[in-house]
């Protein structure tokens, strides 16, 4: 099925290429032979490339829309075409073809370095620069260790598998959680993607530095959980991490690095609300009938002011302050009074 589709695409391409060769600059056409020529000896790379983003880099409707909106500037063509000539603004083929990466005709250059990709994956999409910043360990993972250069797909099944070859322990931790079960990918937290603004010349982001700043960490795209009061715990969403600090296993983490399961959060609250915790332990804050009632049974940790909870839990009756109670005091006064009166009476006798 795939093979058949590949063949018909090939035929179409052959016609397109013949037209390009006929119409193209005769001098350049001599050097550049076009992908169909390469395919006569290299069928496998051809079949991979033909459905790739590189093949359609010029005809891609999204590119065409932006390109035409800006009045079709030549500056776009150096990366979206093959054999672009800056001098006269001409090009040999539309899209990124074999010869853009392997050199024209019989050159058959084999450059496996990320610098080859850097020719284009920089500027509006600064992937190469981000990758350079990703730390010495990631520099061992070059572009083609994670991406198939011909299909432009990932080599692994999923983005997460791409990371797990080196970060097995993180994968194990995530797999056990609701995030793992729901298929949340490492990349969804670690790779921050924004489109560039071509009009203003502002580059986008492709997340290849893998590290997060506060604006990049975004729990809210998936969790609609605005914090009140506890929003003071960190800049933006880093506030979430001051409690959900063991983020991969989704456990809670204390300031002293102790890890608690989410169901057992009293010590988490205690580290910041010591006075309330003490009174809770003494039974004067919390449920007297259930002294083990955790703080979160009455306080939503994300919106902790009790008055904001629509259905208030059983709130304990205000207990009298420690010390003599009113009936006790009254009784005491009565007894002392009676005794004193009796003594005075006895004395008078
Ligand atoms: C007439 C057949 C033929 C054509 C046409 C052809 N090649 Fe090759 N190519 C070869 C052979 C043979 C090798 C050597 C294979 C080997 O060493 O395993 C080769 C090797 C290569 C290599 C690997 C070089 C290396 O150092 O291992 C690349 C890349 C390559 N060709 C790209 C191209 C491109 C791009 C085109 C089209 C512009 C092309 N070839 C056209 C036959 C051809
Ligand atoms: C320095 C090389 C370079 C230049 C110059 C360049 N692009 Fe691109 N462009 C790329 C790369 C690389 C991608 C793919 C990036 C990705 O998906 O992360 C891309 C992707 C795009 C996309 C997204 C296509 C899609 O399907 O997602 C659009 C739209 C686009 N470019 C428009 C333009 C326009 C308009 C210009 C001229 C103002 C331009 N590009 C100039 C390298 C370049
Ligand atoms: C975006 C750049 C790029 C394009 C476009 C491209 N290649 Fe490659 N190609 C590479 C890189 C990089 C390698 C080496 C990958 C590695 O070994 O890490 C490679 C490897 C090869 C090899 C060596 C054997 C193999 O399959 O690994 C051949 C042959 C080849 N390409 C042919 C082609 C042909 C034919 C086309 C067009 C149909 C093409 N390439 C398009 C970048 C490209
Ligand atoms: C001549 C410029 C050029 C070179 C060199 C180049 N690319 Fe690209 N690449 C592009 C453009 C342009 C696109 C966007 C195509 C589109 O979707 O419109 C792209 C798309 C991609 C995509 C898919 C992005 C998407 O949104 O679908 C991947 C992955 C990719 N390139 C990887 C590589 C790798 C790896 C290398 C180096 C081996 C490389 N590219 C070399 C220009 C280039
Ligand atoms: C450690 C693995 C890894 C390395 C190294 C790596 N990438 Fe990626 N890349 C990814 C992952 C994961 C994605 C996200 C794919 C997704 O979410 O679908 C991605 C996405 C991309 C995309 C956008 C694809 C799309 O579908 O939008 C481009 C383009 C790209 N990478 C190019 C490169 C280039 C160029 C290099 C080398 C400078 C590189 N990558 C290095 C793992 C890697
Ligand atoms: C080739 C192996 C390799 C691959 C593939 C890889 N990493 Fe790493 N990564 C490392 C090593 C080694 C370190 C440094 C030791 C550590 O912190 O665990 C590291 C560190 C990190 C860090 C911490 C960086 C810092 O500055 O604190 C993050 C975040 C990270 N990787 C995310 C990812 C993500 C996300 C992926 C997949 C897209 C990925 N890594 C793929 C090897 C790899
Ligand atoms: C829900 C979002 C999320 C997911 C999913 C996620 N991470 Fe993280 N990861 C983070 C955050 C947030 C930090 C930073 C923690 C900090 O700064 O205290 C981090 C830190 C890291 C670090 C560096 C610190 C450390 O713990 O060693 C690595 C490496 C890492 N993650 C790898 C991965 C890998 C691999 C995956 C996928 C299996 C993954 N992460 C999935 C949010 C996530
Ligand atoms: C890509 C989407 C996505 C992102 C980003 C994300 N989550 Fe989740 N999260 C989910 C899904 C899906 C679930 C499981 C369904 C549910 O409980 O809502 C979940 C569940 C959870 C749970 C509850 C697990 C359970 O056992 O009930 C916690 C806690 C959580 N996420 C915290 C975070 C934090 C903190 C961040 C930011 C660092 C974050 N998530 C980022 C999608 C995401
Ligand atoms: C003050 C500490 C604290 C902060 C800050 C915090 N959480 Fe929580 N979160 C908890 C505790 C404790 C639980 C467990 C509650 C329970 O068991 O009833 C929890 C549970 C959750 C759950 C799963 C249970 C549910 O309510 O659906 C999600 C999802 C979640 N938090 C997301 C977030 C996100 C996203 C942020 C940041 C916007 C955040 N949390 C900030 C302490 C906190
Ligand atoms: C890392 C420290 C920290 C942790 C952990 C923490 N809190 Fe807080 N909490 C604060 C801060 C700071 C405020 C804001 C006080 C203010 O606005 O005056 C606050 C506010 C509150 C308020 C509202 C107080 C008021 O004056 O309106 C309640 C109730 C509360 N937290 C309960 C909890 C509960 C329950 C937990 C455990 C799930 C918890 N907190 C965990 C630091 C923390
Ligand atoms: C049985 C329900 C219940 C439990 C359990 C509980 N609280 Fe409260 N808490 C309340 C109510 C109701 C208020 C508001 C009345 C008040 O100010 O005394 C309150 C008030 C607070 C306040 C002050 C908020 C304000 O508006 O002034 C803090 C801080 C607090 N609790 C923290 C905690 C912590 C920490 C724990 C666990 C150690 C905890 N609470 C356990 C019901 C509870």
Within a domain: residue 328? no
According to DSSP, the residues that pair with 290 across neighbouring strands are 287
The pLDDT of residue 331 is 61
- Closest-lying ligand 7 atom to the alpha carbon of residue 238: 12
**Of the ligands numbered here, which is closest to the C-alpha atom of 188?**
8
The pLDDT of residue 200 is 94
Three-class secondary structure assignment of 270-330:
HCCCHHHHHHHHHCCCCECCECCCCHHHCCECCECCHHHCCCCCCCCCCCCCCCCCHHHHH
Average pLDDT in the 111-125 region?
A: 96
Token pair in block for residue 163: 């990371």
Task: Provide the domain limits for residue 226.
Answer: 212-320
Give CA angle at 129 (127, 131), nearest 5°.
65
CA dist 57 and 96 (Å) reads 6
Proportion of the chain above pLDDT 70, given as a percent: 83
User: Which residues form ligand 9's pocket by a CB distance below 6 Å?
Assistant: 219, 223, 225, 227, 230, 233, 237, 239-240, 242-244, 252, 262-263, 265, 268, 296, 301-302
**Of the ligands numbered here, which is closest to the C-alpha atom of 131?**
5
The pLDDT of residue 9 is 57
Is the Cβ atom of 179 under 6 angstroms away from ligand 8?
Answer: yes
Within a domain: residue 340? no
Within a domain: residue 343? no
- Ligand 1 centre to CA of 42 (Å) is 7
- Ligand 8 centre to CA of 217 (Å) is 13
Is the Cβ atom of 137 under 6 angstroms away from ligand 6?
Answer: yes
Contacts 24+ apart (CB under 8 A), 224-227: 225/302, 226/302, 226/303, 227/302, 227/303
Q: Give the pLDDT confidence of 190-202 residue by residue, as tens digits.
A: 999 999 999 999 9
- Ligand 2 centre to CA of 49 (Å) is 18
CA dist 149 and 131 (Å) reads 16
Integer distance in angstroms from the first to the last C-alpha of the chain?
123
The pLDDT of residue 348 is 64
Q: Is the domain of 23 the same as that of 79?
A: yes
Map tokens 């056409």 to a residue.
29
Distances (CA, A) of 39 to 14, 65, 98, 348: 10, 31, 10, 130
What is the DSSP track for 21-35? Answer: HHHS-HHHHHH---H
Token pair in block for residue 21: 């060769």
User: Which residues form ligand 2's pocket by a CB distance below 6 Å?
Assistant: 60, 62-63, 66-67, 70, 73, 75-76, 78-80, 120-125, 127, 198, 206
pTM: 0.89
In the predicted structure, residue 207 carries a pLDDT above the cut 80: yes
The pLDDT of residue 215 is 76
- Ligand 5 centre to CA of 45 (Å) is 20
Within a domain: residue 338? no
In the predicted structure, residue 129 carries a pLDDT above the cut 90: yes
Q: Is the domain of 142 the same as that of 230?
A: no
Within a domain: residue 342? no
Within a domain: residue 266? yes
According to DSSP, residue 198 is labeled T
Q: How many domains does the chain have?
A: 3
């Amino acid at each position: 099925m795939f093979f058949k589709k590949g063949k018909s695409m090939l035929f179409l391409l052959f016609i397109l290429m013949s037209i390009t060769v006929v119409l193209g600059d005769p001098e350049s056409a001599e050097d550049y032979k076009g992908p169909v020529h390469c395919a006569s000896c290299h069928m496998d790379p051809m079949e991979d490339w033909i459905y790739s983003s590189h093949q359609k880099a010029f005809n891609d409707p999204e590119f065409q829309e932006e390109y035409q909106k800006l009045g079709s500037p030549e500056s776009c063509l150096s990366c979206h075409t093959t054999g672009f000539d800056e001098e006269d603004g001409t090009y040999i083929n539309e899209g990124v073809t074999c010869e853009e990466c392997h050199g024209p005709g019989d050159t058959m250059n084999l450059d496996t370095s990320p610098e080859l990709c850097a020719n284009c994956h920089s500027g509006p999409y600064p992937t190469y620069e981000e990758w350079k910043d990703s730390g010495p360990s990631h520099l061992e993972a070059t572009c083609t260790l994670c991406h198939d250069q011909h299909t432009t797909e990932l080599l692994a099944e999923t983005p997460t598998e791409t990371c797990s070859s080196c970060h097995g322990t993180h994968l194990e931790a995530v797999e056990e959680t609701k995030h793992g079960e729901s298929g949340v990918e490492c990349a969804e937290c670690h790779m921050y993607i924004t489109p560039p603004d071509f009009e203003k010349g502002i580059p986008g982001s492709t997340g290849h530095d893998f590290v997060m700043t506060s604006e990049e960490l975004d729990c809210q795209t998936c969790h609609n959980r605005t914090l009140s009061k506890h929003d003071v715990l960190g800049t933006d969403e880093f506030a979430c991490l001051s409690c959900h600090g063991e983020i991969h296993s989704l456990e809670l983490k204390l300031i002293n690095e102790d890890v608690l399961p989410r169901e057992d959060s009293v010590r988490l609250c205690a580290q910041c609300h010591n006075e309330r915790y003490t009174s809770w332990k003494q039974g004067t804050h919390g449920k007297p009938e259930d002294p083990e009632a955790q703080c979160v049974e009455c306080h939503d940790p994300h919106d902790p002011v009790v008055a904001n909870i629509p259905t208030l839990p059983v709130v304990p009756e205000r207990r009298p302050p420690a010390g003599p109670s009113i009936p006790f005091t009254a009784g005491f006064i009565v007894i002392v009074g009676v005794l004193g009166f009796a003594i005075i009476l006895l004395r008078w006798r």
